[in-house]
Amino acid sequence: MKRSVFFVSESTGITAETLGHSLLAQFEGVDFETGYQPYINTASRALELAERFGQLTAEEGVRPIVFATMVDREVGDILRGSSCYYVEVLDAFMGGLSEELGVAPTRKVGQSHGLRNLEMYDKRIDTINFAMANDDGMRLDNFAEADVILMGVSRCGKTPTCLYLAMHYGLRAANYPLTPDDFEKDEIPLQLVPFRHKIFGLTIDPLRLHKVRETRRPGSEYASLARCQTELRQATRMFSRLAIPVLDTTSQSIEELAARLVKML
């Protein structure tokens, strides 16, 4: 079974998309074809989209599903009245919340993902830049400033997790790659030792690491399964000796890893 789905919003559409995806993930056996429609913020744009819903209904024999955050009622009503199964994501909770708070909603558009607080926004951009500048242990002198330091062998998932931690949680995340050089010395760089309490180890299944490295440098010794197995075994031994908590990236997404790290911090 196939169903067309749209995430529609007057602004970025992030909220409609996030909630919509979570709901769709609860229904198996349906092939959802999703479309993304941000900035539907005028009646004419809404009318255009409503027309498309009508066409799709005729073509597919079933109406599209629409997840929307339309704070402006006039524009939203055009979609609500069109040929679709319309889910207004915010409205369902607005009345109850307003009563609980004793405050009326402003119904202003684009409040949640905009630049509401410039100082906080700048801080977040700053953490992204920090993650970029402190990727792959490029600068050993910045670890004091980090909120968290991820450690692990090459391609085990340090960089994307650091970037997600910065972007989503505003954390200053640095990372340090364990190399054969570190394993030979059998210790971590002296500069890292004082910050052991904020170091987290990442590990990964050797076969998966092998595949990831193969995409990068096909047929190399670096990508060989034997080398992956050895490096991961040495890393695990080092984490355990230094009592560094370890997370496995094999079956966890960067979203899940980041959420677990934040909970552990």
167-196: contacts with a copy of itself (CB under 8 A)? 167-168
CB distance 195 to 149 below 8 Å: yes
User: Segment near a copy of itself (CB under 8 A), from 65-73, 138-146, 174-182, 231-239?
Assistant: 65-73
User: Segment near a copy of itself (CB under 8 A), from 53-61, 103-111, 145-153, 237-245?
Assistant: 103-111
DSSP 8-state assignment for residue 116? S
Interface pick for a copy of itself out of 132, 138, 140, 193 (rule CB under 8 A): 132
**Which residues between 41 and 60 bind a copy of itself (CB under 8 A)?**
none
**Min separation Cβ 90 and a copy of itself, Å:** 6
The nearer residue to a copy of itself, 167 or 242, going by C-beta atoms, is 167
Structure tokens at 9: 């919003």
CB distance 12 to 38 below 8 Å: yes
**Site membership for a copy of itself, residue 97 (CB under 8 A):** yes
C-alpha gyration radius of the chain: 24
**Site membership for a copy of itself, residue 254 (CB under 8 A):** yes
CB distance 146 to 240 below 8 Å: no
- End-to-end Cα spacing for the chain: 44
What pairing do the DSSP bridges indicate for beta strands 246-248 and 199-203? parallel
**Which residues between 14 and 33 bind a copy of itself (CB under 8 A)?**
14-15, 18-19, 21-23, 25-30
